[in-house]
Structure 1
Amino acid sequence: MFKIIRSAVEKGNLVLGYVSGLGILLMGLMLFYEVVCRYFFRSPTIWAQEMSIYLFMWTMLAGGAYTLQQGKHVRIDLVIEHLSIRTQHFLEMVTSVAGMVFCAVITWQAYEMIVASIGYNKVSATLLRVPMWIPQMALLLGFALLTLQFAIIIVDRFNSVFGKNEEGQSC
């Protein structure tokens, strides 16, 4: 069962990683268009800046779990790199538990914020009047995926520290 969940999370992270990359490209093109319209034609758009901000939120938050999966998040390993592999894995397991709890709390808070936004029918204070639950959903999705990715790391590190090797002996 865990292998199925891992596979689904990793495939989802990969897809969202690529979608995030394309989102950043699209954001750059939208801002380039805005600059051309504003400075060459003296006719700025009413949508480019706001949509770029929302797209930035989605790409950064949705791509976070892929970044964690690939081990590319910022980490300070000045001291840890001098410890044994087993100790490194144990510390990574402990810090991943803290990360998972933090991300789970943010996921729950994002859910409550979205429910309130839908309940109060909140929209952006711009001419576009974007329903606020749409950009807020990036927070929910991003941190939910980070929570799942931290859970996968915890299981992996637990197995490497306390699990059994191929011969059935303790590591």
Structure 2
Amino acid sequence: MTALMRAYVRIVDGVNYHIGRVVMYGIFVMMGILLWSSISKTFFLPSLWTLEMAQFSLVAYYMLGGGYAMQLGANVRMDLFYGRWSVTTRAWVDSVTVLFLIFFLGLLIYGGIDSLLYSLQYNERSPTAWRPLLWPIKTVMCVGLVLMLLQAVSELIKDIAHLRDIEI
């Protein structure tokens, strides 16, 4: 394993770890928005922005936290066979299946960037009464997808290192 690969894994894991730890508290932002929505509907006039803002914060929460979840192994697996396999067999299977994930994330990034450029070019707005600009949330989505792609490559490097008995 080259020093470049070790540095890549260290940097990507560190970035996703720190972003994930910050974004983890986004649940409180969503709770605050939804609490305000309930209060405003009960005591005042209903706010136009609360539902969409809660949706946007949820998107930021799970898109930016995706790489962190992948790093922790918190993603969902079919454990029928996987749980019984040895660590080496798991590394073999993970190193193959992560290639499909990398391909899929690449397609999502391609589509996301195309959609983001469209939003920027035409100043796209949501078709709701609030009508917020959509490019900020599309930017967050693209950043989250890139972070997940970088983490997937990091996981591939770690699996290959495990198969070659190299410590990272």
Secondary structure (helix, strand or coil) at the match of 1:147 reads: helix
Alpha-carbon distance between aligned partners in 1 of 2:156 and 2:5, rounded to the nearest angstrom: 12
Of residues 119, 142, 154, the one that matches 2:121 is 119
Give the greater-gyration-radius structure (CA): 1
How much has 1:91 moved relative to structure 2?
0.3
> Do structure 1's residue 24 and structure 2's residue 22 form an aligned pair?
no
How much has 1:119 moved relative to structure 2?
1.3
Q: Using structure 2 for the length normalisation, give the TM-score.
A: 0.89
| CA RMSD, 1 decimal | 1.7
Contact 1:17 1:62 in 2 (8 A): yes
Q: Which amino acid aligns with 2:58?
A: F
Ranges in structure 2 where 5+ consecutive residues have no aligned partner: none
Contact 1:101 1:147 in 2 (8 A): no
Look up the match of 1:56: 58
How much has 1:131 moved relative to structure 2?
1.8
Alpha-carbon distance between aligned partners in 1 of 2:86 and 2:13, rounded to the nearest angstrom: 28
| Larger CA deviation: 5-14 vs 100-109 | 5-14
Alpha-carbon distance between aligned partners in 1 of 2:37 and 2:137, rounded to the nearest angstrom: 21
Q: Which amino acid aligns with 1:137?
A: T
Residue 165 to residue 62, structure 1, CA distance change in 2 (3 Å): closer
RCO comparison, higher one (Cα < 8 Å, 6+):
2
Look up the match of 2:8: 5
Of residues 77, 80, 94, the one that matches 1:78 is 80
Residue 11 to residue 84, structure 1, CA distance change in 2 (3 Å): closer
Q: Using structure 1 for the length normalisation, give the TM-score.
A: 0.88
Of residues 15, 20, 29, the one that matches 2:18 is 15
Q: Which amino acid aligns with 2:34?
A: L
How much has 1:164 moved relative to structure 2?
4.3
How many percent of aligned residue pairs carry the same amino acid? Answer: 24
How much has 1:37 moved relative to structure 2?
1.4
